[in-house]
Chains A and B, each alone.
Chain A
Amino acid sequence: MINSPALDYCLTPGVLVILAGCILTCAHGWGQRLLVLAMPIVALLKLWNYAADAQWSCAAAGFNLQLLHVTSAGRLFATAFIIALWLGGMFALQSASRAELASAFVYAGSAISVTLCGDLVTLFLFWELMALASTMVIWSHVAGGEATRRAGLRYLLVHLFGGVVLLAGIAGMAASGADLTLGIIHGDSLARWLILIGFLVNAGAPPLSFWIADAYPASSPSGMVFLAAFTTKTAVYVLLSYFAGTTLLISVGLYMAVYGAVYAVRETNVRRILAYSVVNQVGFMVVAVGIGTPTALNGATAHAFAHIMYKTVLLLGAGSVLLSVGKDQAADLGNLARRMPWTTACVIVGALASMGVPLTSSFVTKSLIIQAASEQQLLWSWIILTVCSAAVVFNAGVRFPWLTFLQSQQSAAVEQGRDPALLSRVALGGGAGVCVLVGVFPQQLYALLPFAGSYHPYSLSHVVEQLQLLVPAALLFFATLPLFSVMPQRQLDTDWLLRKPLFIVWQDFVLQLFALGLRGRSMAVSSFIRGFKIVFRHHGPRGVLSRSWPTGSIALWVAILLASYVVLFNL
């Protein structure tokens, strides 16, 4: 029997949101709106009602499942997820299908549960639920057609692969009797590396970074808001919780930061630009986890929070454009600022926050990561992070708002552009407001970070440094603008291996083998049937040997047999 406090702990904010998602599958009208708008608030209140070290576990299948293990980092990640869910849900009410809303809530609830659980087995259960629900978010964009279905399938394949590797690692650890509870995994065992690989797949680490830019833009305008907020950031959280200080992550994160920046420069699909920007910024967080000092881990946590907020605003903006204009290619957009003033203003705030302009969120969070690299005298990491910090101008910072709202009008479709409905405008404004609030009152965010520290981002030198990085980069952006075509194009990535050679091997070899096997089987079956018919014809009830023969014939045959015997005997 579950007593009341147990029920209180059992119904964690994540589980509540998942239950809301289940109800949303059949809710509509006011009930649906009430759930979408109220449930994130209920979950947020519940999250902050827990004690700072609240824990609750239950035994199942021989495992001690810690459904609740509140940590400072986990609580901040969960808070960001709930806010993103609330803003995304508000926006999604305008256009999303019931299936998408329900999937998004289950997806968000799983992500929240990952940040609040206290052991690897519970984490795995919610991890896989997250993979399935996020795939449903992609597939629920029915208007995307075959392209969306295929992108969702590739996304699912990558995440199932990551899940299998993660499960193998967890099983390995369990078999060796290692502790599966929340905490840094030490040692150099194969199981540890498998778990790390499983986590990195979800972070968009190389060589599987492609899935972010492949799957996210294939989802609906509101679906991408949810997708960009949860999967990669839960990966950052689990890396931070289980692999802080693993120096390999510095190289992985630097690659991601450069990869995202380089690919975004040539990208012409505005939602794909934002997807590459996600990889770029998650790279910063992965580097910070690899550095592993208190400042770095604080930086990773704070920047994850800031990133979720400003990316939500930017994607809400991109979603509003896609909903009203029906286009997401730069060659079809431009000059929307006059037609969509509210969206443009909010997107510009989000873009400033993404670049880390003073008085916005990223200015007070990303600097912690770069400061940590500087404190550890990691020269190349510091240089690459600083350059990638300036390079945000070339993706989410200036390029995205320029191509979407400010460049000259590229097509007649733009004439249909208009700001979204009231709830969506509130979502946009709310997200932009959080970006500014975090930037203006950074100490309130710093107080919630996992490690105590004294940070003062608003020094004259830091403000000047940041502007010295951003302004020349913006100058170069405008100077080199004519070098880059806005015509739609596809950039090859490692998914090319999956989609061309492996696909050909699959089509021309594996499927042919299957077909050959099927043909062989049908031949064997038909031969068996033919043989059976022959046997039946001779030995069946009407067969030659079971017929009634006349006595004379039998006597004749017996005489022939006896004569043959006599002849053979005398030879």
Chain B
Amino acid sequence: MKKSSEHCSLRRRLMAVLAVITLCLAGLDLVVHHHSVECILPDFARYVVLSLLGSLALIGLALVLGAVLSRKEDYYDK
């Protein structure tokens, strides 16, 4: 139980660090110019937005499909 709560706090700390790094990386776009495909996505923090939106879409898709496609591990053994 203690170890589990330790890991929860580790996860929270990791998230905080990653959030700060994400903001810093987004801020770097003020000075770094990227060459990529012309599209409706903003030039500023384009890759951060792509990563966040894409990952959210992926998680959403996995959750929706999971509800439909997940079965017990021994499903095929019955």
**Chain A residues with Cβ under 8 A from B57's Cβ?**
387
A406-464 interface with B by 8 A CB criterion: 407-409, 460-461, 464
| A491 is an interface residue with CB less than 8 A from chain B | yes
B22 — which chain A residues lie within 8 A by C-beta?
Answer: 468, 471-472, 475
A473 and B55 contacting across the interface, CB-CB below 8 Å: yes
Most buried by A among B61, B63, B70: B70
Q: Indicate the member of B28, B58, B77 with the most A CB atoms within 10 Å.
A: B58
A394 in contact with B58 (CB, 8 Å): yes
Residue interface mask A386-400, B partner, CB < 8 A = 1: 111011011000000
Say yes or no: A471 contacts B76, CB within 8 Å.
Answer: no
Question: A476-B52, A476-B59 known; A490 and B76 CB under 8 Å?
Answer: yes
Residue in A closest to B4 when the chains form the complex, CB atoms: A408
Pick out which of these stretches binds chain B: A82-90, A110-118, A258-266.
Answer: A258-266
On whether the beta carbons of A474 and B36 are closer than 8 Å, the reply is no
Return chain B residues, CB-CB under 8 Å to A556.
none
- Most chain-B Cβ atoms within 10 A of its Cβ — which of A262, A388, A394? A262
How far is B14's CA from A480's CA once the two chains are assembled, in angstroms?
A: 13
Segment 50-76 of B: residues with Cβ below 8 Å from A: 50-59, 61-63, 65-66, 68-76
A135 adjacent to chain B (CB < 8 Å): no
Size range of the chain B interface in the assembly? 35 or more
- Residue A374 is within 8 A (CB to CB) of chain B in the complex: yes
Within 8 A of B (CB), among A462-489: 464-465, 467-481, 483, 488-489
Residue A335 at the B interface, CB < 8 A? Answer: yes
Q: Quick check: is A558 within 8 A (CB to CB) of the other chain?
A: no
Asked if B73 and A262 sit within 8 Å, CB to CB, the answer is no
Residues of chain B within 8 A of A471, CB atoms compared: 18, 21-22, 25, 51
B3 to chain A: closest CB distance in Å?
5
Is the C-beta of A178 less than 8 angstroms from some C-beta in chain B? no
- Interface assignment of A504: CB less than 8 Å from any CB of chain B: no
Looking at chain B's contact residues, the main secondary structure is helix
Question: Is A475 a contact of B3 with CB atoms below 8 Å?
Answer: no
Q: Are A469 and B50 in contact (CB under 8 A)?
A: yes
Say if the beta carbon of A568 comes within 8 Å of chain B.
Answer: no
Give the residue name and chain of the A residue nearest to B63 (CB).
Answer: A483
Contact partner, B3, options A262, A263, A335, A387, Cβ 8 Å: A335
Contact pick for A490, options B15, B36, B71, CB 8 Å:
B71
Query: Does residue A175 face the partner (Cβ distance < 8 Å to B)?
Result: no
- Give the most central of A147, A377, A489: most B CB within 10 Å: A489
Chain A residues within an 8 Å CB radius of B7: 407-408
Would B15 and A465 count as touching, CB distance under 8 A?
Answer: no
Contact B66 A266 (CB under 8 A): yes
Task: Kindly name the residue among B19, B61, B66 whose own CB sees the greatest number of chain A CB atoms within 10 A.
Answer: B66
The docked-state distance in angstroms from the alpha carbon of A470 to that of B14 is 14
With an 8 Å Cβ cutoff, the count of chain A residues facing the other chain is 52
- Quick check: B39 and A379 within 8 Å, CB to CB? yes
Q: Is A383 an interface residue (CB 8 A)?
A: yes
Q: Decide: B36 and A382 in contact? CB cutoff 8 A.
A: yes
Contact with B along A487-500 (1 / 0, CB 8 A): 01111110000011
Inside 8 A of B70's CB, which chain A residues have their CB? 266, 489-492
Residues of B within 8 A of A464 (CB): 25, 28-29, 32, 34, 47
For A490, list chain B residues within 8 Å (CB): 70-76
Q: Which residues of B have CB within 8 Å of A394?
A: 55, 58-59
| Inter-chain contacts of B36 with A (CB < 8 A) | 374, 382, 465
B71 → A minimal CB distance (Å): 5
A468 touches B52 (CB 8 A): no
Known: A335-B3, A387-B54, A461-B33. A475 touches B28 (CB 8 A): no
Are the C-beta atoms of A476 and B14 separated by less than 8 Å?
no
Q: How far is the CB of A418 from chain B (nearest CB, A)?
A: 20
A481 to chain B, nearest CB (A): 7
- Shortest distance in angstroms between B24's beta carbon and chain A's nearest beta carbon? 9
Q: How far in angstroms is the closest Cβ of chain B from A277? A: 14
Residue numbers in B under 8 Å from A261 (CB-CB)? 58
Partner of A468, one of B25, B54, B68: B25
Query: Contacts of B3 on A, CB cut-off 8 Å?
Result: 335, 408-409
Structural contact, A382 and B54, CB atoms closer than 8 A: no
Whether B18 and A390, one on each chain, are in contact in the complex, defined by CB atoms closer than 8 angstroms, is no
A197 to chain B, nearest CB (A): 25
A481 to B38, CA, bound (A): 34
Minimum CB–CB distance for A504 against chain B, Å: 12
Residues of B contacting A388 in the complex (Cβ-Cβ under 8 angstroms):
54
A391-B54, A491-B71 known, 10 other contacts, Cβ within 8 Å: A261-B58, A262-B62, A387-B54, A471-B22, A471-B25, A472-B18, A475-B19, A480-B59, A490-B73, A490-B74
Q: List 13 interface pairs A-B (beta carbons < 8 Å), by A numbering.
A: A265-B62, A379-B38, A387-B54, A387-B55, A393-B55, A464-B25, A464-B47, A468-B22, A471-B21, A475-B15, A475-B22, A489-B72, A492-B71
Using a CB–CB cutoff of 8 Å, the interface residues on chain B facing chain A are 3-4, 6-7, 11, 14-15, 18-19, 21-22, 25-26, 28-29, 32-39, 45, 47-48, 50-59, 61-63, 65-66, 68-77
